[in-house]
Amino acid sequence: MSKAAIRKLGGSHVVVVPPTFLKQTGLKAGSPVDVSIHGDTLTVKPDRTPGLAELIKATPRKARVEGWAEMPPAGAEG
Q: What is the structure's pLDDT at 7?
A: 94
pLDDT tens string 23-62: 999 999 999 999 999 999 999 999 988 888 888 888 888 8
Pairing of strands 12-15, 33-38: unpaired
Domains of the chain: 6-65 (2.10.260.10)
Question: Rounded to whole angstroms, what are the CA distances from 28 to 21, 69, 74, 75?
Answer: 10, 30, 30, 28
What's the average model confidence in pLDDT over 62-78?
78
- Which amino acid makes up residue 48? R
Cα separation, 51 vs 53, whole angstroms: 6
Helical (H) or strand (E) element with 20: helix 19-25
Cα separation, 48 vs 27, whole angstroms: 11
Instruction: Work out the pLDDT band at 78, boundaries 50, 70, 90.
Output: low
pLDDT tens string 6-23: 999 999 999 998 899 899
Q: What is the structure's pLDDT at 43?
A: 93
pTM of the predicted protein model: 0.58
